[in-house]
């Protein structure tokens, strides 16, 4: 763990003493036969506050006071008390003494870096004036504050949204796989491409053409490459695609030992993007007609009804060519997979009946919640809503505005979930450093040394920009506050070649160096839905989708 590395293996630090050492005092104390055999550290105060082992300072020039149960041997302080940075490098300090040498005052010789992690450590080298040994070495962590200066020039809100969309699009355009054109799983994935993330990338490409980041001809050519690869090279199972593919060969790349075949939910995200693309490229040229025909074939080849695992009234998530339905995971709500049932019901070749939606997805109305959290009533889903991607992945295509069925008003559902996430971070019940009305958003993302689906009920202190930014259609004011904080205040650490990095923690002064397709895509697409409803309008214009959603009991002006 990163934190563990900070607390161990610290280098010796030479702290520069600003006061002359009282040699006679030390010498006399060393001869005291009544001095105890050991002594202890009693309290650490940073800028007058005692916070135990974790200190979040509001200044880069903090005053650190460390008090002990006995006067110190001044000559032992320079090697017995250490201040180091996250790379275990010594930090030059000035020291002075108070309270008869029982308190040492340490101040950095130069201001500390903003949003950085430091370790303050006392060890057994430290001696009392009577040469007693420190009973228990103590280590404390210091995290410095955010620099409130703007890191980039201020632009209008509209210009900022365009800038974010354009920069984030580079992930799918500049970093798209050179052979297949599909989206790589993450910025370190090499040949591993993601089917669901590629669906998001297709919607991003439509957005980019419409915003004139690229020409229509450029967009069409890239989409043709992707669709040709999916049609002619990519490995499928009963028409469904695996979670990961090799972007050069099209062979499945196992997601796990048993997940080495079809992933129906990832397939649905891919189909969501393909249908949006089909609706956008509706020209009369031979190229666009051929593209639409190929997309129709890919969609109709998916045997949605086969994934009922023996004609059950639910769809199943995975199927392995050598282990069958070993994972045995039903696709039930409430989660990110609403679009899976919508697309299955919309298929004209392998459709499913409404009873599957009611029994499988809605679990005979068990998806209903109805409780209130932070004064916001949540129609569907787990307590406190769960991770925010529940309201993003399916609703990149499905327009929740004015959409209802037996179970919910989806305009209310999507906004309620986003507001609960926002209000939780604003209230900050766990006391995470930096959480506020400007710094919020819990969803699946990278975390230090791992990955997790963050939510109010699984809060590990990590904020993911995609959570707040993909919620723009639901919480425009709150999302804009977050965007401005991420870009202007944290941009020197959070903004990169492909837009915002995946996540950060002000608890640990940690910023991911990663970008992920499934997190970058929703930023572009959902900002576009907020601005123009473009992707919503395209997906909801699909004739099959209109019929399928009506058959499931949905009502909307868009159907």
Nearest to 482 by CA among 497, 457, 510, 504: 504
404-428 in b/e form (b: 16+ CB < 10 A) is bbebbbbbbbbbbbbbbbbbbbeee
Percent of the chain with pLDDT over 70: 94
Task: Read off the tokens for 527.
Answer: 């900002």
- C-beta of residue 464 within 8 angstroms of C-beta of residue 449: no
Please give the Cα distance from 505 to 115 (Å, whole number).
10
- C-beta of residue 157 within 8 angstroms of C-beta of residue 495: no
Q: Count of alpha carbons within 13 Å of 322, Cβ hemisphere only?
A: 5
pLDDT-based confidence at residue 300 (cuts at 50, 70, 90):
very high
Q: What per-residue confidence (pLDDT) applies to 266?
A: 98
- C-beta of residue 220 within 8 angstroms of C-beta of residue 285: no
pLDDT tens-digit series, residues 423-477? 999 999 999 999 999 999 999 999 999 999 999 999 999 999 999 999 999 999 9
pLDDT tens-digit series, residues 204-226? 999 999 999 999 999 999 999 99
Please give the Cα distance from 22 to 17 (Å, whole number).
12
Between CA 233 and CA 241, with CA 236 as vertex, the angle to 5 degrees is 105
Residue 148, number of CB atoms within 10 A of its CB: 8
Q: Count of alpha carbons within 13 Å of 117, Cβ hemisphere only?
A: 22
Residue tagged 């909801």 (tokens): 540
**What φ, ψ does residue 409 adopt, rounded to 5°?**
-95, 115
- C-beta of residue 343 within 8 angstroms of C-beta of residue 272: yes
Average pLDDT over residues 502-517: 98
331-367 in b/e form (b: 16+ CB < 10 A) is bbbbbbbbbbbbbbbbbeebbbeeebbbebbbeeeeb
| Length of the chain, in residues | 559
Structural domains in the chain, CATH included, are 2-143 (2.60.40.1220), 157-552 (1.50.10.140)
Collapsing DSSP to helix, strand or coil, 14 comes out as: coil
pLDDT-based confidence at residue 37 (cuts at 50, 70, 90):
confident
pLDDT-based confidence at residue 33 (cuts at 50, 70, 90):
low
Residue 343 in this model has a pLDDT that exceeds 60: yes
Q: How far is CA 528 from CA 13, 105, 268, in A?
A: 52, 54, 21
Please give the Cα distance from 269 to 300 (Å, whole number).
15
Average pLDDT over residues 393-417: 98
Average pLDDT over residues 368-385: 98
Residue 108 in this model has a pLDDT that exceeds 70: yes
Average pLDDT over residues 278-282: 98
Average pLDDT over residues 138-155: 97
Average pLDDT, the chain: 93
Please give the Cα distance from 363 to 333 (Å, whole number).
7
Please give the Cα distance from 112 to 70 (Å, whole number).
30
Please give the Cα distance from 284 to 204 (Å, whole number).
23
Residue 385 DSSP label: G
pLDDT-based confidence at residue 530 (cuts at 50, 70, 90):
very high
Q: How far is CA 120 from the centre of its chain?
A: 30
Nearest to 345 by CA among 358, 326, 363, 327: 358
Q: Given 3-state DSSP classes, what are the helix, strand and coil percentages for the chain, each rounded to the nearest 5?
A: 40, 20, 45
- C-beta of residue 281 within 8 angstroms of C-beta of residue 291: yes
Q: What per-residue confidence (pLDDT) applies to 35?
A: 53
Residue 307, number of CB atoms within 10 A of its CB: 27
Residue 19 in this model has a pLDDT that exceeds 90: no
Query: What is the C-alpha end-to-end distance of the chain, expressed in Å?
Result: 50
Residue 351 DSSP label: -
Q: Which of 32-41, 66-75, 130-139, 450-459 has the lowest mean pLDDT?
A: 32-41
- C-beta of residue 421 within 8 angstroms of C-beta of residue 467: yes
Q: Count of alpha carbons within 13 Å of 41, Cβ hemisphere only?
A: 24
Residue 4 in this model has a pLDDT that exceeds 50: no
Residue 383 in this model has a pLDDT that exceeds 90: yes
Residue 26 in this model has a pLDDT that exceeds 70: no
Average pLDDT over residues 139-159: 97
**Strand ranges (E), 316-458:** 318-319, 372-373, 376-377, 444-447, 450-453
**What φ, ψ does residue 248 adopt, rounded to 5°?**
-95, -45
State pTM to two decimals: 0.92
Please give the Cα distance from 51 to 45 (Å, whole number).
7
Q: 157-173 vs 476-484: helix axis angle to the nearest 10?
A: 70
Please give the Cα distance from 86 to 88 (Å, whole number).
5
């Amino acid at each position: 763990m990163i934190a563990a590395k900070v607390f161990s293996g610290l280098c010796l630090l030479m702290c520069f003493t600003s006061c002359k050492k009282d040699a006679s005092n030390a010498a006399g104390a060393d001869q005291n036969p009544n001095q105890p055999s050991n002594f202890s550290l009693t309290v650490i105060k940073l800028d007058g506050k005692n916070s135990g082992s974790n200190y979040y300072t509001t200044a880069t020039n903090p005053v650190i006071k460390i008090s002990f149960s006995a006067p110190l041997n001044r000559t032992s302080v320079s090697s017995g008390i250490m201040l180091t940075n996250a790379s275990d490098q010594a930090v030059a300090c000035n020291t002075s003494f108070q309270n008869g040498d029982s308190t040492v005052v340490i101040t950095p010789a130069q201001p500390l870096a903003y949003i950085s992690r430091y370790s303050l450590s006392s060890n057994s080298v430290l001696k009392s004036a009577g040469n007693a040994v420190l009973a228990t070495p103590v280590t404390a962590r210091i995290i410095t504050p955010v620099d409130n200066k703007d890191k980039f020039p201020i632009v209008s809100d509209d210009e900022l949204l365009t800038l974010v969309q354009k920069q984030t699009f580079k992930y799918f355009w500049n970093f798209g796989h050179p052979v297949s054109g599909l989206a790589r799983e993450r910025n370190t994935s090499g040949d591993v491409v993601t089917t669901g993330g590629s669906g998001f990338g297709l919607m991003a490409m439509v957005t980019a053409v419409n915003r004139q980041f690229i020409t229509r001809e450029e967009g069409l050519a890239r989409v043709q490459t992707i669709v040709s690869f999916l049609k002619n090279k990519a490995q499928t199972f009963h028409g469904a695609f695996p979670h990961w593919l090799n972007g050069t060969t099209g062979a499945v790349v196992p997601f796990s030992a048993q997940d080495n075949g079809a992933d129906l939910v990832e397939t649905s995200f891919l189909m969501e993007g393909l249908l949006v693309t089909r609706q956008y490229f509706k020209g009369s040229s031979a190229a666009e007609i051929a593209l639409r025909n190929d997309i129709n074939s890919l969609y109709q080849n998916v045997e949605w009804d086969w994934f009922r695992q023996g004609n059950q009234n639910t769809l199943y998530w995975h199927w392995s060519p050598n282990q069958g339905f070993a994972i045995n995971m039903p696709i039930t709500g409430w989660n990110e997979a609403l679009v899976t049932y919508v697309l299955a019901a919309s298929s004209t070749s392998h459709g499913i009946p409404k009873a599957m939606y009611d029994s499988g997805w809605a679990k005979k109305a068990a998806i209903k919640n109805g409780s209130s959290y932070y004064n916001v009533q949540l129609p569907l889903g787990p307590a406190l809503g769960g991770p925010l991607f529940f309201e993003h992945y399916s609703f990149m295509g499905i327009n929740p505005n004015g959409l209802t069925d037996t179970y919910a008003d989806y305009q209310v559902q999507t906004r309620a979930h986003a507001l609960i996430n926002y209000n939780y971070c604003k209230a900050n019940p766990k006391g995470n450093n930096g959480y506020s009305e400007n710094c919020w958003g819990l969803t699946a993302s990278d975390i230090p040394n791992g990955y997790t689906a963050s939510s109010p009920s699984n809060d590990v202190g990590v904020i993911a920009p995609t959570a707040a930014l993909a919620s723009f259609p639901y919480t425009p004011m709150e999302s804009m506050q977050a965007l401005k904080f991420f870009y202007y205040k944290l941009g020197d650490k959070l903004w990169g070649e492909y837009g915002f990095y995946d996540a950060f923690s002000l608890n640990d002064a940690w910023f991911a160096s990663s970008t992920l397709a499934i997190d970058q895509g929703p930023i572009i697409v959902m900002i576009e839905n907020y601005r123009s409803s473009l992707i919503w309008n395209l997906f909801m214009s699909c004739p099959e989708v209109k019929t399928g959603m009506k058959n499931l009991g949905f009502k909307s002006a868009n159907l």
